[in-house]
Amino acid sequence: MENGFSILNSIIEEAPRGVSRMRRWATAVAWLVIVLLVGSEPAAARPAAEGIQGAGAERLSRDWKQLRSRNFLAVGDAADGELRRAVTELEAFQSVLREMFPSVRLVSPVPTLIVVLKDNDTFARFQPRDARGRRQEWVGGYFTALPDVNYMVTGWRSENGLAFDVVFHEFTHYVMNRNLAHVPLWLAESVAEFYSSFRIDTGRNLTLVGETPPLRLPYLRTRAPLPLERILTNESAARLFERDQDRALFYSQSWALVHYLFLGQRGARTKQIGVYLAALEKGRTLDEAFAAAFKCSKEELGQELAKYITDRQYPVLAIKRTAASSEGVGTVEAMREADAEALQADLLSRVGAREDAEKAANRALALQPKHVQATVALARVRRQQDRRDEALAVLQAVASEPGEHFGYRTDLASALMAAQRFEEARVEAARAVAINGQVPSAHYLLALTAAAAGREADGDAAIAQLTRLELTTDHHRRRAYDLFALGRDAAAARDVDAYVRAGWPQESVTYARFLGALARRRLNQRPEADTLLEGARKMVAPGTWTAKVLDFLQGRLTAEDLLSQAKLDGEKTEAHTYIGFRDVLGGHPETAVTHFRWVKEKGSKNYVEYPIAVAELERLEKVKPR
């Protein structure tokens, strides 16, 4: 099952954009979807974004600079004016949300860095890598929220300079995730696409939202619309992501649907989106939420959308700027060379560019031997290279240096987890929480390490705190997968039970039942496993891929038949994973290894089955070397 992580394909071409002014009513509906369910709880105070620091190694970089603003820190080798433009646009983007909807949680508990690179060639060095280490050349910018830092990275140019479409898209995801608990895939992606067009019209002192993404129009004009049923359900939407053409049509049609719901018919349907989300928050199914919100059938709404697309009248929301976004922007300064190299090492290690990350980390450490950020980046590379003992040794070699360095503590906890030293990992996770208790990922790390160490009460307390910080019920499911990968089956099964009891009738609950059944079988608790699978049977539509997986797990379908019916990479990932676990449980580790290797080498990494298959492969290979 797909885990929801995505990198939006960047728009690599620029087309002329027509701008039509909205009537006055439109300002009342802007940004509505991401705040309809947000209360009045004030945002937690965030520590001021700190510059990249280093003791000693005072030599300044010839190319890399930094620029602070009120909420962001821009770094990079681009021209001073482009760094200034980057923070100005992001501050403007954020100020619109804050001004119109003060209750939205925008304050990040960790620093947000905008990495602005001078040209496309320089940006290519920082493009994310795929499972085989190859650059994902279609990615033209990205936003990634990490435990200790948020990175916004952009470098390619249009005719008008830096393009922020992808950054705005991913930043919208970040805001939605911090404010809403249950957002279907179609709505999450289309709302982010809608706001990705944000731009400043300095001549008229306006901010504009809702322009048509240039590469979406051809798909709307030349491809027949998909039935809404294929877009609105998470399982069928995930299938569309397997092929480039289908994925592009999904983005285009979802954008058009949200544009119509926001701005079509003078906003007549806008408030219905909030009703739809509210119904999902109350545990209603996607179909029940749709019926409650839109008061029509999917076919009828599909017909309205088809007419909207045919008419090609896409209004744009224009909002008067009331605050100067340049306020609080400081002065561009040169970075220390050791800090610049360490930051590059950190970012390169995050995107999977191991060789370049290692070189940058070593350059930083040559200038400043105990540079904490460079040390953490080097240790991360060692973990990626499956040199886990070395990674832990690298971190422990500077144990006296980091002090209150949040990223060091979280990485050390992760390294200790990989070494199966769960209690020590829990201690480090607790230190990270003590340093910055507003970071949800730190509480999750504490919840995971405590559960792995057998401290159930501590783990549940961390989950409770995490739930207060992050609006989602997904924590038990996520922890169940991580605990299962660590071989902590009893704890994983306990989390599955907690997630199932929450009662969310979604596809993720079905797959959580699958995981719980595997954990129960590894614990020799066959009746409990069978009960979980029978419960899944009530939730799965006959004839779907999920139903076929369930048939296999219940012994109604052979491994050969399951593989033969797996057509897409994600389906093959699931098939090989579940067949592999069946073989392990059946006492056939040699054939299980074959299936798990397929997943590691060819599987879809964004499926929840990928990490548990790879973890099981590592365990089997320790018993019997390749």
**3-class secondary-structure state, position 135:** strand
Mean pLDDT check: name the lowest of 206-215, 286-295, 565-574: 206-215
What are the DSSP calls for 514-575, one per residue?
HHHHHHHHHTT-HHHHHHHHHHHHTTSPTTSHHHHHHHHHTTSS-HHHHHHH--SHHHHHHH
The answer to whether the beta carbons of residues 448 and 422 sit under 8 Å apart is: no
CATH of 24-44+60-320, one of 1.10.390, 1.10.10, 3.40.50, 3.10.450: 1.10.390
- Please count the helices (runs of H) and the strands (runs of E) in the chain: 28, 11
The answer to whether the beta carbons of residues 64 and 46 sit under 8 Å apart is: no
Out of 98-107, 230-239, 615-624, the most confident range is 615-624
pLDDT digits (tens, 9 = 90+) for 236-252: 787 787 777 888 888 89
- Enter the CATH code of domain 336-401: 1.25.40
d(CA 424, CA 427): 5
Listed residue (153, 179, 157) closest to 34, CA to CA: 179
**Assigned architecture for domain 402-472:** Alpha Horseshoe (1.25)
The answer to whether the beta carbons of residues 451 and 491 sit under 8 Å apart is: yes
pLDDT digits (tens, 9 = 90+) for 388-408: 999 999 999 988 787 788 999
For the cut 70, the answer to whether the pLDDT of residue 28 exceeds it is: no
Residue 293 tokens, joined: 């919100």
pLDDT digits (tens, 9 = 90+) for 248-259: 888 899 999 999
Residue 13 tokens, joined: 């071409």
Higher pLDDT, 116 or 270: 116
For the cut 60, the answer to whether the pLDDT of residue 416 exceeds it is: yes
Calculate the alpha carbon distances from 184 to 31, 246, 257, 473 in Å. 17, 18, 14, 14
Strand order in 199-201's β-sheet? 199-201, 206-209, 317-320
For the cut 60, the answer to whether the pLDDT of residue 187 exceeds it is: yes
For the cut 60, the answer to whether the pLDDT of residue 468 exceeds it is: yes
Domains 336-401 and 402-472 share a fold: yes
Higher pLDDT, 104 or 612: 612
For the cut 70, the answer to whether the pLDDT of residue 39 exceeds it is: no
Mean pLDDT check: name the lowest of 196-200, 346-350, 551-555: 196-200
Mean pLDDT check: name the lowest of 90-94, 114-118, 141-145, 454-458: 141-145
Over 334-363, what HEC string results?
Answer: EEEHHHHHHHHHHHHHHCCCHHHHHHHHHH
* Mean confidence (pLDDT) of the chain: 83
User: In this structure, are strands 206-209 and 317-320 parallel, antiparallel, or unpaired?
Assistant: antiparallel
For the cut 70, the answer to whether the pLDDT of residue 48 exceeds it is: no
The secondary structure element, H or E, covering residue 504 is: none
For the cut 60, the answer to whether the pLDDT of residue 53 exceeds it is: no
The answer to whether the beta carbons of residues 235 and 507 sit under 8 Å apart is: yes
Domain extent listing, the chain: 24-44+60-320, 336-401, 402-472
